[in-house]
Structure 1
Amino acid sequence: MSRLLLQFSHLFKSFGSFPLFEDLFFSIHEGECFALIGENGAGKTTLLQLLAGRLPPDAGSINRAPGLSIGLLPQEITLDEPSMLVREFMEKGVLSDLEKAMAACLDNHLAKWAELHEQYEHLGGYRRMPIEQCLHGLKLDSRLLDRTCESLSSGQRMRVGLAKALLENPDLLLLDEPTNHLDQEMTEWLTTVLKQRKGACVIVSHDRTFLNATC
């Protein structure tokens, strides 16, 4: 059986007096892909936030596998540092930090390098997509890398956020309406990438064709 990544037990979540989830059981294994569909306000985005650990449940438990890496693409990208270059934004993350640390200690600290290498391999670093391939698939000009995040259009910003999430190659990838700013060609490319992933994926989308092809 594939590795258990995350499990909800007796989970309860409400907003005010309105219950969103009651006594919810839910488990995700490596390689699985789930589609979340429903009307606006049904709690789909809230469930992604619970999965990502950004919201606590009101009751119940959430058990995550040791060392589990989770990537979340929200519907809207919030910029903590609007003046940051796109290149810097895309390079922020666990795998990029490990790559830099490995390069820094390669010559003089082989034991530390071996430890970092093991972490990098476990997190899928050697399976991560080349940045050029990702930019091409999402029709992002490489010259955008040297622009500030705040200079991008909303569509460009979302595609950059999607590219970053894919490049990090987390164990569990959470996508909230990922096709909103994609044309058909980009959507087909994304479908292919997600189907080739080893990790698990949970997708919120109103695009039934995309969901049927991906999950």
Structure 2
Amino acid sequence: MGSASKQSNKPGGKAAGDRRARIAELRAAEQRRDRRNKIIASVVVGVLVIGAIATGTWIVMDANKDKKAKEAAASAPIDGVQTFGDLSRNHVKEKVTYPQTPPVGGDHNAVWLDCMGHVYDQPVENERAVHSLEHGAVWVTYNDKATPDDIKALSDKVQATPYSLMSPYPDEKGTITLSAWSTQLVVDSASDPRVNAFFTKYVQGQQTQEPGASCTMGSM
């Protein structure tokens, strides 16, 4: 019987050994997968980091390029622009007779016009518009020679540009007039490339008498 007992234990011992070997094999395979996944994850992270660095570098370079382009445009002369020297800046309550039409500066009302991309469909007060120019706004005006397409294009431009305003000005001689403090340009069409150049150079440009002053709410 002792011999029979030994023979019955042999298959069980072999099966247990096989299970241990199989478990060890599965664990080894799992460890290999873990190592492989970690390597893949590291590579992916590395690629993402390199990509982020490259993207960030490109953004910085592009921003610097755009800044330099704007600085170059702001310093470049614009053909046809007139300047009028130093102008008075007193606050007055009465109407002012200005030498330019539309005016580009001088004494003005203490209350400015909202000029954060505001498009007015009626003529505005000179004295309040001049105050907006003092704050660095560009004022776009036009007479009845301007076409509907001109008016639409200029309206879109103004509405997209803080520190600008637009209004009809029936008495002006030029079809379209762009005014900044002590600065003015007359053009025949909204498609004239000098329009964009004027905005680039004079919206909150060097001519601004009160840089950063409010262009909303229109009161001191």
TM-score (norm 1): 0.22
TM-score (norm 2): 0.22
Q: Which has the higher strand share?
A: 1
Greater RCO (Cα-Cα under 8 Å, separation 6 or more): 1
Q: Which has the higher helix share?
A: 2
Bigger CA radius of gyration: 2
